[in-house]
A and B are shown apart, each in its own frame.
Chain A
Amino acid sequence: MSEDIYKEIILDHYRNPRNKGNINDAEISAKDYNPVCGDKLTLDIKLENDVVSDIKFDGEGCAISQASASILTEMLMGKTLEDLSKFSKDALLEELGTPSLGPARIKCALLSLKVLKIGTYKYLGDELPKDSDAEL
């Protein structure tokens, strides 16, 4: 990989993260950790009638993981609970504009999605499907 993965959209969200922070009374709240890089991420989602009314992420990590989380929060605002559980990694990667991240960095990009899936399934009281996008 080279600096080509640092597209303008990623650098923009890395330098000016959107929706960064916490929601204390969030319905969906989850965190995860990428032991390889030490990336940490929490995601809080406020639902009104099963629709995302507020969303915040917090964490520390590389530009890819933090920008991906920031971009994901923008994509999820106003989405339904069903949208959340079906949200695909392809949709996120397309938005990131970096389809060829390579095996070393893909986990960074998909950490936010993994946290979303963990939180959503926990909220729904379901087991994470083994073959889901969360199985990254």
Chain B
Amino acid sequence: MSGNILRDIKNDFPIFSRKINGKNLVYLDSAATTQKPNAVIDSIINYYKNCNSNIHRGIYSISIEATELYENARANIGKFINANSSHELVFTRNATEAINLVANTWASQNLKEGDSIILTEMEHHSNLVPWQILAKKLKLKLNFIEIQPDGELILDKLDDLFQDNAKFLSLTHVSNVLGTINPIKDIISKAHSHGITTLVDAAQSVPHMSVDVQDLDSDFSVFSGHKMLGPSGIGVLHAKEPLLENMNPFLYGGDMISSVSLREAQWNEIPWKFEAGTPNIVGAIGLGKAVDYLNQIGMEVVHKHEQELYNYAVDKFSELKDFKIFGLENKHSTGGVISFSYSDFHPHDIASILDGESIAVRAGHHCAQPLMEKLGVPATTRASFYIYNDQLDIDKLFNGLQKVRSVLT
């Protein structure tokens, strides 16, 4: 364990007081979504009970309070990723919507027939499908950075990819299946030297480690609130200010305008230009609280805790026969994720039997079908950790896996 700060942490999360099949919940699916601490839940309740109102332009007290809470959350989240200014943060529904925003604005405006977009083979569907659609529409080429079997990117051919008319590169910071941390600072710097604009899918990194968007120098970064203790339905696009200034709006309507006549309209300033309609006010407030909560713990502690759990699990599971962890040889891992195969047991059977023990793991392709193909499996079972997991959870998973073997053989 990483110090006392995490010792009683489960008490902060009301879901862990629930019994399922008479047992305490062992939640090992935080890469899909995380549980919510009281601080976040209370901030949502407080907003609806005490200051529910629409934001911006309200002249009365509770609207002013709500606007302050919403905009303070933006500033708070901006600081968390070390954004240059809170104006660089656009609230979206999630990382997926943020990627779609960039595809429909910056990329649609700046890419033309014959240009190429560079992606990687480990992308989640959300950082693949929007680019497939845009490539078809604009007759762009998609090129892929390949991965090795241990989950690391093969960067030898990067120069060839850059020189194939590349204008844009979009890649994940951390793999949601393997936990691999990609050397994105280096890749971004090389891309920039070829005049290539970059997007980082930080959905699996911002929740688990300290991420500094200025240090990485990414042009766009995206992440989702629900994967970092915040509510679902709120996500963030971070973009450098000059890029946002020159981008067309994504959606049109109220709040994104400065003035409207019957036949035309002027756009609001950034970031509000990209936030048409009443936004997810309470989602932003809740995410702001989640960031406070993570700051109290410290992202270094979060990262270290997950790595310790990972090492403990790898050691413990080495006792299991025919147990294979994907990407185990990989030295650059967050430690937050273990994707495994276990004998010839199908992941869905493993997950079903573990569920009987009240252990929640994910089985399937994890929305990364091309990566599954590369690993040569139709699906894997994935256990993913967060701050509220402990060695006892790993022990229970271990016992559950022994039960899987006894049921299926």
Contacts and interface: CB of A to CB of B under 8 A. Distances in A.
Interface of A: 1-6, 11, 14-15, 35-40, 60-64, 104-105, 108
Nearest to A101: B352
Contacts of A63: 345-346, 349, 408
Contacts of A40: 378
28 contacts: A1-B352, A1-B355, A2-B21, A2-B352, A2-B355, A2-B356, A3-B407, A6-B352, A6-B408, A36-B364, A37-B363, A38-B364, A38-B365, A38-B378, A38-B379, A39-B346, A40-B378, A61-B378, A62-B346, A62-B348, A62-B349, A63-B345, A63-B346, A63-B349, A63-B408, A64-B348, A64-B349, A105-B352
Given A11-B407, A38-B364, A38-B365, 9 more contacts: A2-B352, A3-B403, A6-B349, A6-B353, A6-B407, A37-B364, A37-B378, A39-B378, A105-B348
Interface in B349-408: 349, 352-353, 355-356, 363-365, 369, 372, 377-379, 403, 407-408
A24 B374 CA distance: 31
A18 to B, nearest CB: 18
Contacts, number: 61
Given A11-B407, A14-B408, A4 B349 contact: no
B78 interface: no
A38 B377 CA distance: 9
Task: Classify the interface of chain B: helix, strand, loop or mixed.
Answer: helix
Most buried by A among B349, B363, B369, B379: B349
Contacts of A6: 349, 352-353, 407-408
Interface of B: 21, 345-349, 352-353, 355-356, 363-365, 369, 372, 377-379, 403, 407-409
B363 to A, nearest CB: 7
Most buried by B among A3, A4, A104: A3
A80 B347 CA distance: 36
A108 B352 CA distance: 12
A1 B409 CA distance: 19
Contacts of B353: 2-3, 6
Nearest to A15: B409
Nearest to A2: B356
Contacts of A11: 407-408
A5 B349 CA distance: 10
Given A36-B364, A37-B363, A37-B364, A60 B378 contact: yes
A1 B356 contact: yes
Contacts of B407: 3, 6, 11
Nearest to A36: B364
A67 to B, nearest CB: 10
A110 to B, nearest CB: 14
Contacts of A35: 365, 369
B346 to A, nearest CB: 4
Contacts of B369: 35
A40 B96 CA distance: 29
